[in-house]
Amino acid sequence: MDFKSSDTVPGPRAEDHLPHTTQAAVKIVIVGGFGVGKTTMVGSVSEIKPLTTEETMTQAGVGIDDDRGSDSKTATTVAMDFGRISLTRELVLYLFGTPGQERFWFLWNGLFEGALGAVVLVDTRRLEVSYDVMGRLEERGVPFVVAINTFPDAPRYPLDELRTALDLAPEIPIVECDARRRASSRDTLMTLMRFLYALTTRGALT
């Protein structure tokens, strides 16, 4: 399996069916805390019109949801986001974005079923939210990579410092990304697929 990264990414297609050359379809979950950019990533990279389950935020979340850094956010995912991207002519990824609000995390178990891997989106303004997210993936045995979403007003740190702060094992990839940019989101997914391939060749992924 040879993955090559490129800034040239296919745009949305008129048809939603899989190309006849497809040999493998893989389920990937995009996870993270509230407002870290999961819906944005799925929407930026999907080659089909993404399915979203966003609802207007209400007073019900006041004092419950951690919205630091997301003061201007007016809608939130309450079930999942769904998109699709063809990384190569043979390999298609189905992308499932999880709800970020902690009161909706009970839905994650169903979304994790059958997932080959995950991208953990991280906001450096709220690193502590990521601990529970990664812990849940580890409990389920879902391999993951960490992507630091580069918000304009978020503090920037060297990746090795962030690795230490997040207590990441040396083999877990950590990258910077801009979830708004199609090429950046695609490169993050390519990093995940290379990691999964490495685990497979080492026999760590069955």
Q: Is residue 14 part of a domain?
A: no
Tally of structural domains, the chain: 1
Structure tokens at 8: 């040239």
Q: Could you tell me which residue, 201 or 146, shows the higher pLDDT? A: 146
Q: Is residue 165 a contact partner of residue 158, using CB atoms and an 8 Å limit?
A: no
Count Cα atoms within 13 angstroms, Cβ side, for 183. 5
- What mean pLDDT, rounded, does the chain reach? 81
Q: What is the pLDDT of residue 6?
A: 41
Domain range for 123 is 24-202
Q: Is residue 92 part of a domain?
A: yes
Q: Is residue 3 part of a domain?
A: no
Tell me the whole-structure pTM to 2 decimals.
0.78
Q: Quick one: pLDDT band at residue 18, thresholds 50, 70, 90?
A: low
pLDDT at 13 exceeding the cut of 60: no
Here the CATH number for the domain that contains residue 124 is: 3.40.50.300
Q: How far is CA 157 from CA 31, 127, 167, 189, in A?
A: 21, 12, 15, 22
Tell me the CA end-to-end span of the chain in Å, nearest whole number.
Answer: 16
Q: Is residue 11 part of a domain?
A: no
Q: What is the pLDDT of residue 98?
A: 87
- The model's pLDDT over 78-127, given as tens digits with 9 standing for 90+, comes to 458 999 999 888 899 999 998 866 655 566 677 889 999 999 999 999 99
Q: Is residue 2 part of a domain?
A: no
Q: Is residue 142 part of a domain?
A: yes
Q: Is residue 8 part of a domain?
A: no
Q: Is residue 107 part of a domain?
A: yes
% of the chain beyond a pLDDT of 90: 56
- In angstroms, the CA 165 to CA 59 distance is 33
